[in-house]
A and B are shown apart, each in its own frame.
Chain A
Amino acid sequence: MENSKIIIGYLIYLPVVIALTIYVSKMLFKNGRLFMIDIFKGKEDIALATNKLFEIGFYLINIGWAMLILKISYYSINGMSYQTLIEILSKKIGGFSIYLGVMLFINLFFFFRGRRISRQNKGNTPPQLQNS
């Protein structure tokens, strides 16, 4: 029964992490639609398609990373106490949460950058855009 607490840890860790990822990416890309429409200058279909593709990429990266850091390696003669379990879980879930926040801010930075670039292009070449 040495390993049973590690399995409890996994059973707590996985749902928390996956729910967190799904929630964050839903919110991010719900709010990112406006940016995408701005970036693609109002062409809604291609903006929404790109948004969906980015969302899938976000899921893949984050859930993949969560699985990668899943392993709890803790060995002791006395087995694992609940306190150690809580401490290990806090390190994993907290670390993942900070990582997810950093990813969110990086994504937001890309949104702003794309929006700024598309605005600059719009200012420089309005006649060509209207012709095409």
Chain B
Amino acid sequence: MNYNIISYSIYIPIIFFIMIYVGWLFYKHGELFLLNLFQDETLVKSINNLLLIGYYLVNLGYAIITIAYWEVINSIPEMLNTLSHHLGIIIIGLAVLHYNNVLCLTYLVKSKSLKQ
């Protein structure tokens, strides 16, 4: 058992937990905004489901793919360094995507309310 495999088995549960939890939060709280845009409850539910699945596929896929480009690890401090580095990159990426989403949503809601 080398350090690389240990760090993979630490990395995967942490990142999956964070991504699934964040996605679920977006799913729960984003429904109101979508309801504001579409005004049809069953349609909004199906759109929301599909968006959640797409989010999971793309983000978990990216999280898994980073494993292929992991550097060689020789000691425990090095393992902690690389783990925190990779986790940090992914969490910052999530934050950027999230703010982008919020901006898009506010823009859509604003343009919709201007039209009416």
Task: Give chain A's interface residues, CB within 8 Å of chain B.
Answer: 20, 24, 27-28, 30-35, 38, 82-83, 86-88, 90-91, 93-102, 104-105, 108
B49 contacts chain A at the CB level, 8 A cutoff = yes
B residues 38-86 in Cβ contact with A at 8 Å: 42-43, 45-47, 49-51, 53-58, 60-68, 70
Q: Are B5 and A98 in contact (CB under 8 A)?
A: no
> 15 A-B contacts, Cβ less than 8 Å apart?
A27-B49, A30-B46, A34-B46, A83-B4, A90-B65, A94-B64, A95-B61, A98-B65, A100-B57, A101-B58, A101-B61, A102-B58, A104-B50, A104-B53, A104-B57
- Contact, CB under 8 Å: B68 / A91: yes
Report the tally of A-B residue pairs with Cβ distances under 8 A.
86
Residues of A within 8 A of B8 (CB): 86
Q: Which residues of B contact A34 (CB under 8 A)?
A: 42-43, 46
Tell me if B's interface is mostly helix, strand, loop or mixed: helix
Chain B proximity of A13: nearest CB distance (Å): 12
Docked-complex contact A108 and B50, CB < 8 angstroms: yes
User: Which of A35, A90, A108 is the one whose CB lies under 8 Å from B68?
Assistant: A90
Does A97 lie within 8 Å of B57, measured CB to CB? yes
Contact B68 A94 (CB under 8 A): yes
Within the assembled complex, what's the spacing in Å between the Cα atoms of A95 and B65?
6
B2 at the interface (CB under 8 A from A): yes
Chain B residues near A90 (CB-CB < 8 A): 64-68
Q: How large is the interface on B (under 10, 10 to 19, 20 to 34, 35 or more residues)?
A: 20 to 34
Q: Interface majority SS on A: helix, strand, loop or mixed? A: helix
User: Contact: B54 with A94, CB < 8 Å?
Assistant: no
A98-B46 in contact (CB<8A):
no
Chain A residue numbers with a CB within 8 Å of B57 are: 20, 24, 97-98, 100-101, 104
Known: A86-B67, A87-B68. A94 touches B50 (CB 8 A): no
- Residues of A within 8 Å of B61, CB to CB, are 93-101
Complex-state Cα separation, A94 to B69, whole angstroms: 12
In whole angstroms, what is the CA distance A31 to B61 when docked?
22
Q: When the two chains form their complex, are residues A97 and B60 in contact, meaning their CB atoms are under 8 A apart?
A: yes
